[in-house]
Structure 1
Amino acid sequence: MFNDFKIQDEDRPAYIQVKEYLKRLIAKGALQENQKLPSTREMSVLLAVSRNTILAAYSDLEEEGLIYALKGKGSYVAGVHRTSEESQPALQTDWSARVSGYARKAVELDRMKNGIRTPRRSTISFTSIAPDEQLFDLDHVKRAFLDRMALEGHVLLNYGYAKGYKPLIELLMRYMEQKGVELEGKDLLITSGFTEGFDIVLSALHRRHGAVLCENPTHQTAIKNLKLNGFDVTGIEMEHDGIHLGKLKEALMERAYDCAYLVPSYHNPTGIVTSPAKRIALMKLMAEYQIPVIEDGFNEELRYSSSHALPLMSIGGRGNGVVYLGSFSKVLFPGLRVGWVLADKQLIDYLESIKRARSIHTSTIDQAILFQYLHNGHLDKYLKRARFEYKKKYEWTRQCCEKYLPDARLSGDGGLHLFLEFAPGFDTHKLLASCSEQGVVFTPGDMFYTDGSGRNTMRIGFSRVSLEDIEEGLRIIGATARMQGQK
């Protein structure tokens, strides 16, 4: 006995690893009740650790009631209630027959679980549209954490409020006001990123018609959550400057909808920015047919030119029919799971109760770090640097696409990705299979379409790819696409 122990982690206190090892032996019955343990000196030799390590481990085990000491005699294993293996009730459940339709649908729609597998570490991957961690402003994030913990660490480590951390709520309200949003009659809820906010909003909606309008293609996570919440999704094709208003009007005349989900800026996956004129016309149409709008503020900050379009919520003025979902995940740090919902006060009141029932509150530490970072004025400086770096990659990716994939239609006005559309009948899944063998992967576009189309499209995420790999990867994709087109 004791010959199977070894230190697993040099950075972790040795006495804790010894304590956990002995706890496992006691729990499994390898050490029996009232069995005498080796002396601290003997155990230190058996486990090849210092005697002080054993003393500390024994002390903790005694405090936890797992061993007891008899003066002058040594340490013994305390009584632990356990059942013999023969008497343990073997409860076996066939979970495949017990899970709900919701769970089955979640697996079916889980692209991360069932999607692209990177064949080797040297692969050039265009699948991600996450920010480049090399740009992360670590020093100022550390400073923000230390500043906030020094001020109210005891508060941050306790339960928070379902609605959110008040200083961050107030800061984000001012932030949205700078975007031209009229705040009268509106309130804000902090969520754990965009996805939770979207799911909470959808769960609060009465499925009177069971149908939602959106752009086609659109954000795959949004499609997944709409379907999981029981909505029928109708996608409206896009033009170079946003959703096709004529097609949208036709859809509105054909049936009733519960809401519309729209991504007007640096749309995922096309990268299209809806023009200011079309935004106004779009909101007039939504007002005419009384369709509430869920606006995804995806990547709004990553514009690479001086032009900037106001959110749909700002165009709505004092109206309360737009629900804005915001997040800094694609701009700052996705590891801080903080997003927000800005909407009518009455709706936020409902959403707050749903949030409280589901997850109690978003991590207060995450919220506080983000607040302090923004409060210290680092966002604008970081965005200036990020835009500079991403703009280089954006322009280089466009140039490489035009050079190596001249026959594909290209879209994308900013953000962290570009979208390519090949001739009808071209299959990007076959292209992916061939490119993957050569060490290049990308995202086929059909996963973003609401109607099963789009197999001739693909999304190229460039944010985490070097300039050299961008060219090499697109050269391989282009050469492989030409060979495929010749067959």
Structure 2
Amino acid sequence: MFQDFKLNGDRPVVIQVKEYIQRLIIKGALQADQKLPSTREMSGLLKVSRNTVIAAYESLEDDGFAYAIPGKGSYVAAMSGHSAAEGSSLDGSASLQIDWKARMNRYAISAVELDIMKQGIRGSKGIISFTSIAPDEHLFDLGDVRRAFMDRMAIEGQVLLNYGYAKGYKPLIEYLMRYMENKGVDLSGKDMLITSGFTEGFDIALSALRPESRSGAAICENPTHHTALKNLKLQGFQINGIPMERDGISTEKLEQVLKQGLTFDLAYLTPSYHNPTGIVMSPEKRSAVMKLMTQYGVPVIEDGFNEELRYSGAHIAPLIATAGQGNGVIYIGSFSKVLFPGLRVGWVLADRALIGHLESIKRARSIHTSTIDQSILYQYLLNGNFDKYVKKARTEYKRKYELTKACCEAYLPDAELTGDGGLHLFLTLPKDVNTRELLAACTEQGVIFTPGDRFFIQDGEGMNTLRLGFSRVADEHIEQGIRVIGEQAIKLINAK
């Protein structure tokens, strides 16, 4: 015994010693009332200092795993509520075994089936991956983030470590309300809820809008964000997809669907740097879409995805600004694709009465979004770092965007490209190129990308499309990877 102890250099030695002995006690390797080796003997067995063993024994006594008899030494305390051996409980009765797969409901099973991260493309080390559309961490200005953290902790650190409010951190809400007002949004009658990123905000909104007496019905662009599709399906919504055009959703097709007289509970739209196509909806089309939604009384969930990553052209007002004083748009924003995804902070801007209900749903689910995360983001924004960072990020991503576009035009000349900014391009290849087959061929050559069919609503759609995320790919790998994709696409075409 005690021969398998190994130190991990990253953690305090006294904690490692304590946890090692504690595990032996819980597993039953050390029995109740058994005398532990003396501190001198144990220090020799574990090859650590005697003071370390003394501190570890004291900590075990504090936690109820050991007790000391003056003049005799330390002993193992009797255990209750811990399994002493595999397959049985401490009192010898059979341990409870559940077949969890058989217990899973349809929601849980569907979540696994729709989980592209679990089922998705895995790249080995050294592979060129175009699958990510996360920001490049090399651009993160750690000094400014560290300063924001220290500034805020110095002001109200003890408060930030306690429970926060479900609605969110008030200084951040006030800052973001002004931020949205600067985008042209009329804040009359509107309020804001802070969430843990876009996905939580979207899921909470769907929970509130999902009808009880029937399946929900939603309108989406087709293709659209896979995470949104997944959550709509998990919430039981039937999805009606409207095809995309070069300047956004087809308003002609949208009007045709609305004229059919069906009841739609919501429309989910991403007007700027749409995922996956990268298309920016034109101002004229934004006005036309809002007129149709107003005419047919369909609430809109607007995804503010990547809105800040504009490389050229003037700012285009979001749909919630186009709606004026109307309360029919629910805007969900975050800085995850621009700033730091590790700070899980997003926001929902909507009608004040609706926000009141969403706040209660939020409180029932997760109590509140991390107050420390919110406060760091607030202080970072307050310190004026955001504009400086976005300017740097736009310059770098624009350069990568132009490089990726040029490589696609050179090596995939038959592909139709879309993408006006953001962190990715969307390619539509000739009809006889199946991008699932293309992915398999490219994977063998050390290159992976995201097949476009997973963004479409119906199975079998978009089988000749793919998304190229370039934000985290080195310049030389962008050129090399797209050349491989082009070569393998030609081979597939010639083989048919």
What is the TM-score when the length of structure 2 is the normalising length?
0.96
Structure 2 distance, partners of 1:64, 1:358, is 32
Structure 2 distance, partners of 1:383, 1:407, is 34
What is the CA-CA distance between 1:209 and the residue it aligns to? Answer: 6.1
1:177 aligned onto 2:164 = no
In 1, are the aligned partners of 2:397 and 2:423 still within 8 Å (CA)? Answer: yes
Structure 1 distance, partners of 2:63, 2:122, is 45
Match for 1:193 among 176, 193, 197? 197
1:201-350 superposed matches below 5 A: 201-207=205-211, 210-254=216-260, 255-350=262-357
List per-residue Cα deviations over 1:419-466 (Å, max 9, x = no partner): 000122320000000000000000000000012200000000000001
Identity %: 67
Report what 2:4 is aligned to. Answer: 4
In 2, are the aligned partners of 1:421 and 1:456 still within 8 Å (CA)? Answer: yes
1:456 aligned onto 2:456 = no
List per-residue Cα deviations over 1:354-412 (Å, max 9, x = no partner): 00000011011110110110011100000000000000000010000000000000000
The 3-state SS of whatever aligns with 2:121 is coil
Structure 1 distance, partners of 2:75, 2:469, is 61
Structure 1 distance, partners of 2:64, 2:104, is 39
What is the CA-CA distance between 1:63 and the residue it aligns to? Answer: 1.5
Structure 1 distance, partners of 2:465, 2:10, is 48
1:109-148 superposed matches below 5 A: 109-118=114-123, 120-148=124-152
Structure 2 distance, partners of 1:70, 1:95, is 45
Structure 2 distance, partners of 1:256, 1:74, is 76
What is the CA-CA distance between 1:35 and the residue it aligns to? Answer: 1.5
Structure 2 distance, partners of 1:64, 1:423, is 67
The 3-state SS of whatever aligns with 1:232 is strand
In 2, are the aligned partners of 1:67 and 1:76 still within 8 Å (CA)? Answer: yes
Structure 2 distance, partners of 1:112, 1:37, is 47
**How many aligned residue pairs are there?**
485
The 3-state SS of whatever aligns with 1:318 is coil
In 2, are the aligned partners of 1:209 and 1:257 still within 8 Å (CA)? Answer: no
Structure 1 distance, partners of 2:419, 2:5, is 57
Which segment drifts farther, 165-174 or 34-43? Answer: 34-43
What is the CA-CA distance between 1:65 and the residue it aligns to? Answer: 2.2
Report what 2:422 is aligned to. Answer: 415
Structure 2 distance, partners of 1:348, 1:88, is 51
Report what 1:467 is aligned to. Answer: 475
Structure 2 distance, partners of 1:319, 1:284, is 11
Match for 2:96 among 84, 91, 95? 91
Can you give the 5+ residue segments of structure 2 that lack an aligned partner in the other structure? none
Structure 2 distance, partners of 1:424, 1:441, is 20
**Structure 2 counterpart of 1:153, which letter?**
G
Report what 1:426 is aligned to. Answer: 433
Structure 2 distance, partners of 1:78, 1:239, is 72
1:70 aligned onto 2:30 = no
Structure 2 distance, partners of 1:88, 1:309, is 68
In 1, are the aligned partners of 2:197 and 2:336 still within 8 Å (CA)? Answer: yes
Report what 1:61 is aligned to. Answer: 60
What is the CA-CA distance between 1:37 and the residue it aligns to? Answer: 1.3
List per-residue Cα deviations over 1:247-296 (Å, max 9, x = no partner): 00011011221110000000000000000111011111110111110000
What is the CA-CA distance between 1:52 and the residue it aligns to? Answer: 1.1
In 2, are the aligned partners of 1:373 and 1:379 still within 8 Å (CA)? Answer: yes
What is the CA-CA distance between 1:90 and the residue it aligns to? Answer: 3.0
In 2, are the aligned partners of 1:326 and 1:339 still within 8 Å (CA)? Answer: yes
In 2, are the aligned partners of 1:190 and 1:338 still within 8 Å (CA)? Answer: yes
The 3-state SS of whatever aligns with 2:263 is coil
Structure 1 distance, partners of 2:320, 2:432, is 39
**Structure 2 counterpart of 1:269, which letter?**
P
In 2, are the aligned partners of 1:209 and 1:258 still within 8 Å (CA)? Answer: no
In 1, are the aligned partners of 2:272 and 2:278 still within 8 Å (CA)? Answer: yes
In 2, are the aligned partners of 1:420 and 1:459 still within 8 Å (CA)? Answer: yes
What is the CA-CA distance between 1:97 and the residue it aligns to? Answer: 1.9
Which segment drifts farther, 351-360 or 63-72? Answer: 63-72
In 2, are the aligned partners of 1:2 and 1:46 still within 8 Å (CA)? Answer: yes
Structure 2 distance, partners of 1:100, 1:156, is 38
Report what 1:390 is aligned to. Answer: 397
